[in-house]
């Protein structure tokens, strides 16, 4: 079925592993025991554990998805667009990439990305709008835009839009009244654990992914991963993550040999689940040819190979499994790590803080700040420096040894500027510290929780830009450009309020500004 190898340098690894086996952690997880993570977590975990059985309980969805796909394709609709954030988009993205199936994932409020998605094969598109809460502002804004586009084109939105949400959500009520196809997900599954639920399966099935084999891969390891045994590789991986973090090895370097983006899915699962109460595990997504600095506080996991990588810390693993099995592996392992570092892996207490700050900016309750300096069309915020070079140097000087890291948050069009992510590895080597890269606002629904609630050792570089042109959000009193700026500023304000060093670089001319920024970061 696959290979998982784990190595750890400390005796406590085997001690903790044996404790979890003796405490029947895996079998209690199979029984959906909400007490596994302590009394404070019990209320939340009691309504978030249905994911353990999704390989079985999601099977009745498959005929309905197949029927919908056949109907839509018979109507000439063969291009699938997914509007969703966090767990609603990252799992479908990697599932389709693994299967070699096209899926356009719109998980941004960048006006250029929204405009490009709407302009691409509108008449032959199926637009899947996915939101667990039914109130995600990015997804709601995207839905409004597609609906307006279909109306302008003289087409019926209900013939093109498919909704995935929890039963009884505002989106469910709206879509049902409007006559849309609605797939209601299991409300007892949290967003980042929803890969094998309707959120992961509906867009992928409509796009043409063979879903039965994906569920079979997970079902094939289900009993093994939920058995109390020291040979249980899901337990072993989870203990590795937790024990490493307890020994200040709290950077999880994910070396993706698959080229499918699986690292991005693992990143949101681990970071959002563990990063709270000033502790946690920070994933650093890499590829074999762009590792960056591997420091003594790094646990290294190679994905898609059976060769265990070298790590100065001695903590390392190799995972080579089919995708469905790997998804269940990481879900179980993440909950195990949560027990060890004493956090609730199912809540996200710090995600709402950035949303609230953004809403305040959009509503006029809080004013957008003025730049502290402007350097040739590049506006600087959160620094005493007057040039881009000095501001960057000042921020880099805040990255502490031995546990600090730098996070790049880029609120731009991730399709047009995808190669900007390539600055991460050389920048990490330059600083000699781990560096992460996140596209905003996408990361706010994943690693954003860790940045604000996790180990307080990060320094943050935000990059925003003036949209040219901007794009109205139908039925709203703000534009996409205003929204994405508010999201960046709001998150930056929350980070700064918590004592994190934050520099925002705003590019009034995006192309010229990026060229300059690349030179400074090189």
Q: What percent of the chain is modeled with pLDDT above 90?
A: 93
Q: How confident is the model at residue 365 (pLDDT cuts 50, 70, 90)?
A: confident
The 3-state DSSP class for residue 285 equals strand
Q: What is the pLDDT of residue 367?
A: 82
> Contact at 8 Å (CB) between 442 and 85?
yes
Quote the pLDDT of residue 124: 98
Of 330, 220, 348, residue with least CA distance to 280: 348
Nearest to 164 by CA among 147, 180, 149: 180
Number of other residues whose CB lies within 10 A of the CB of residue 356: 11
Half-sphere exposure of 91 (CA within 13 A, CB side): 28
Reduced to 3 states (helix: H, G, I; strand: E, B; else coil), residue 280 is coil
Angle formed by the axes of helices 12-22 and 233-246, nearest 10°: 130
Q: How far apart are CA 332 and CA 505, in angstroms?
A: 39
Segment 366-377 mean pLDDT = 92
Q: What is 3-10+230-341's CATH number?
A: 3.40.50
Residue 146 CB partners (closer than 8 Å, separation 6+): 81, 83, 118, 127, 129, 157, 160, 161
> How does DSSP assign 105-169, residue by residue?
EE----HHHHHHHHHSSGGGEEEEEEESSS--HHHHHHHHHHHHHHHHTT--GGGTEEEEE-TTS
Distance, CA of 187 to CA of 47 (rounded, Å)? 8
Q: CA 42: distance to chain centroid?
A: 24
How confident is the model at residue 104, as a pLDDT?
98
The pLDDT of residue 11: 87
- Can you give the residue ranges of every domain in the chain? 3-10+230-341, 58-214, 351-521
Q: What are phi and psi of 350, to 5 degrees?
A: -100, -5
- What is the C-alpha to C-alpha distance for residues 317 and 267, in angstroms, rounded to an integer? 16
Write down the pLDDT at residue 262.
97
Tens digits of per-residue pLDDT, 447-504? 999 999 999 999 999 999 999 899 999 999 999 999 999 999 999 999 999 999 999 9
Report whether pLDDT(43) > 80: yes
Strand partners, 298: 251
Could you confirm whether domain 58-214 is CATH 2.40.128.50? no
pLDDT at 2: 67
Checking if the pLDDT of 140 tops 80, the result is: yes
398 to each of 29, 249, 495, how far by Cα in Å? 41, 20, 14
Helical segments of 297-365, H only? 323-341, 351-362
Which residue in 377, 401, 257 sits closest to 321, CA to CA? 257
75-79, 362-366, 409-413, 515-519: least confidently modelled range? 362-366
Mean pLDDT of 82-88: 94
Domains 58-214 and 351-521 share a fold: yes
Please confirm whether the linkage preceding 402 is cis (ω < 30° from 0). Answer: yes
Cβ(27)–Cβ(223) below 8 Å? no
- At 487 the pLDDT is 96
Residue 316: per-residue pLDDT: 97
Three-class SS state of 336 = helix
CA distance 428 to 434: 6
Nearest to 484 by CA among 495, 473, 475, 494: 473
Q: What is the mean pLDDT of residues 342-362?
A: 91
Confidence of residue 10 (pLDDT cuts 50, 70, 90): confident
Residue 383 makes CB contacts below 8 A (sequence gap 6+) with 372, 373, 390, 391, 394, 395, 503
Note the CATH number of domain 351-521. Answer: 3.40.50.10490
The residues with which 161 forms a beta bridge, in sequence order, are: 127
Q: Residue 42: is it exposed, middle or buried by C-beta count within 10 angstroms (0-12/13-18/19+)?
A: middle
Contacts made by residues 145-151, CB under 8 angstroms, sequence distance 24+: 145/114, 145/118, 145/471, 145/473, 145/474, 146/81, 146/83, 146/118, 147/474, 148/474, 149/118, 149/122, 150/122
Mean pLDDT across the stretch 91-117?
98
Q: From residue 127, how far is each of 71, 179, 191, 396 by CA, in Å?
A: 14, 15, 20, 42
- H/E stretch holding 263 reads helix 262-274
Distances (CA, A) of 169 to 135, 136, 184: 8, 11, 9
For residue 28, what is the enclosing H or E element?
helix 25-30
pLDDT at 480: 97
Q: What is the mean pLDDT of the chain?
A: 96
The 502-507 sheet, strands edge to edge:
373-375, 378-381, 502-507, 458-465, 405-410, 435-439
């Amino acid at each position: 079925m696959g290979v998982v190898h784990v190595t750890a340098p400390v005796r406590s690894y085997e001690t903790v592993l044996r404790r979890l086996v003796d405490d029947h952690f895996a079998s209690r997880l199979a029984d959906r025991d909400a007490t596994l993570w302590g009394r404070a977590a019990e209320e939340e975990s009691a309504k978030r554990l249905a994911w353990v059985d999704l390989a079985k309980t999601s099977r009745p969805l498959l005929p309905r998805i197949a029927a919908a796909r056949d109907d839509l394709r018979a109507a000439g609709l063969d291009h699938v667009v997914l509007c969703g954030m966090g767990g609603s988009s990252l799992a479908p993205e990697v599932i389709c990439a693994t299967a070699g199936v096209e899926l356009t994932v719109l998980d941004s409020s960048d006006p250029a990305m929204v405009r490009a998605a709407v302009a691409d094969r509108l008449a032959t598109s199926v637009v899947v709008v996915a939101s667990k809460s039914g109130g995600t502002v990015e997804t709601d804004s995207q839905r409004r835009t597609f609906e307006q586009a279909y109306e302008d084109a003289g087409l019926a939105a209900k013939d093109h839009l498919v909704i995935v949400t929890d039963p009884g959500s505002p989106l469910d009520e709206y879509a049902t009244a409007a006559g849309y196809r609605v797939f209601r997900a299991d409300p007892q599954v949290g967003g980042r654990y929803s890969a094998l639920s309707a959120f992961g399966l509906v867009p992928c099935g409509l796009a043409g992914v063979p879903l039965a084999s994906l569920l079979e891969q997970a079902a094939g390891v289900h009993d093994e991963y939920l058995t109390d045994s020291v040979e249980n590789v899901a337990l072993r991986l989870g203990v590795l993550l937790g024990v490493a973090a307890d020994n200040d090895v709290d950077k999880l370097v994910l070396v993706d040999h698959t080229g499918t983006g699986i690292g991005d899915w693992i990143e949101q699962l681990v970071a959002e689940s563990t990063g709270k109460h000033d502790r946690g595990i920070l994933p650093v997504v890499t590829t074999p040819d762009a590792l960056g600095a591997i420091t003594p506080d790094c646990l290294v996991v190679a994905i898609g190979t059976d060769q265990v990588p070298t790590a100065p810390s001695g903590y390392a693993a190799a995972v080579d499994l089919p995708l469905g099995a790997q998804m269940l592996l990481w879900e179980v392992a993440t909950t195990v790590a949560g027990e060890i570092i004493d956090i609730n892996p199912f809540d996200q207490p710090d995600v709402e803080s950035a949303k609230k700050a953004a809403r305040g900016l959009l509503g006029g309750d809080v004013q957008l700040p003025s730049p502290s300096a402007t350097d040739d069309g590049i506006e600087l915020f959160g620094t005493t420096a007057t040039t881009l070079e000095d501001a960057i140097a000042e921020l880099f000087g805040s990255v502490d040894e031995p546990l600090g890291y730098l996070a790049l948050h880029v609120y731009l069009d991730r399709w047009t500027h995808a190669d900007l992510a390539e600055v991460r590895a050389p920048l990490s080597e330059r600083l000699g510290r781990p560096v992460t890269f996140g596209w905003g606002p996408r990361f706010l629904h994943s690693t954003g929780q860790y940045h604000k609630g996790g180990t307080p050792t990060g320094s943050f570089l935000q990059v925003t830009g003036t949209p040219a042109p901007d794009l109205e959000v139908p039925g709203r009193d703000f534009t996409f450009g205003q929204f994405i700026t508010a999201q960046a500023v709001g998150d930056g304000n929350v980070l700064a309020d918590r004592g994190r060093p934050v520099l925002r670089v705003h590019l009034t001319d995006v192309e010229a500004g990026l060229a300059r920024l690349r030179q400074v970061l090189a």
